[in-house]
């Protein structure tokens, strides 16, 4: 199973992290066992959810989780009937994606730890494996646009509301940068280190640019 755009079927944004689901089965097939979930380490995401904070300062690593469709069975107990979602498993983690309520259930293979995470479906394709050049380009553009928007909004705030509002805006920006590093992972200079972290920065930057304009309103 190759995680390429042609096989991409579902993008999921979970707590600032991107998860991509791929499928490589014959068109029209009801069930599919040849699927792949590509995501930042879900074991780490599980710990973050349970304790409300990052566990360490190591970079977010991308992992591959074999996946397949899951169906209820018809009365004969053999034929697949109603589609339920997608199950996946890894060395440390197993889970289930429920498209009906947009939730992902994650459980540890070694402990009783488990969590249910809500996701936001995203059709924009952001590869987490391979195509590092594309992500580098998107990240650089995203950060450049973010900085340009920040400067423009700052000037508007200063001219309309004055220096005190501008100072509040700058303070909130520092808070946001620190939170982005906590959610996405970053080095001591608040810069991403891996492809997974850059993808997270791209997403967070886009959301932040939308929030900027709320300061004017």
- The sheet with strand 80-89 has its strands ordered as 114-118, 103-108, 93-98, 80-89, 62-73, 35-40, 17-23, 8-14, 120-121
The pLDDT of residue 7: 94
The pLDDT of residue 47: 79
The pLDDT of residue 27: 83
**Spans of the chain, pLDDT less than 50:** none
| 89-146 residue pLDDT tens | 999 899 999 999 999 999 999 988 899 999 999 998 999 988 889 999 999 999 999 9
The pLDDT of residue 1: 77
The pLDDT of residue 104: 96
The pLDDT of residue 149: 93
Rounded distance between C-alpha atoms, residue 68 and residue 34, angstroms: 6
The pLDDT of residue 173: 95
* Strand locations in 119-213 (E): 120-121
| Cβ 8 vs Cβ 123: under 8 Å | no
Domain limits of the chain? 5-121, 132-216
Candidates 133, 137, 183, 195; CA nearest to 13 is 183
CA-based Rg of the chain, rounded to a whole angstrom?
Answer: 20
The pLDDT of residue 81: 82
The pLDDT of residue 148: 95
| Cβ 204 vs Cβ 184: under 8 Å | yes
């Amino acid at each position: 199973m190759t995680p390429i755009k042609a096989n991409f079927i579902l993008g999921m944004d979970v707590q600032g992290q991107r998860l991509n689901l791929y499928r490589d089965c014959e068109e029209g097939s009801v069930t599919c066992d040849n699927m792949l979930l590509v995501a930042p380490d879900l074991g780490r995401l599980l710990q973050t959810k349970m304790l409300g904070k990052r566990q360490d300062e190591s970079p977010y690593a991308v992992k591959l989780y074999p996946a397949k469709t899951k169906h209820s069975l018809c009365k004969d107990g053999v034929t697949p009937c109603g589609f339920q979602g997608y199950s996946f498993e890894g060395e440390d983690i197993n889970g289930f994606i429920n498209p009906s309520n947009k939730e992902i259930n994650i459980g540890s293979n070694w402990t009783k730890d488990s969590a249910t995470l809500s996701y936001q479906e995203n059709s924009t394709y952001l590869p987490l494996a391979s195509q590092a050049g594309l992500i580098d380009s998107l990240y650089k553009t995203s950060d450049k646009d973010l900085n340009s928007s920040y400067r423009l909004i700052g000037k508007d705030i200063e001219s309309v509301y004055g220096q005190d509002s501008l100072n509040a805006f700058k303070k909130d920006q520092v808070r946001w940068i620190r939170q982005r590093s906590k959610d996405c992972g970053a080095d001591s200079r608040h810069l991403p280190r891996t492809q997974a972290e850059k993808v997270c920065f791209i997403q967070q930057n886009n959301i932040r640019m939308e929030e900027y304009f709320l300061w004017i309103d």
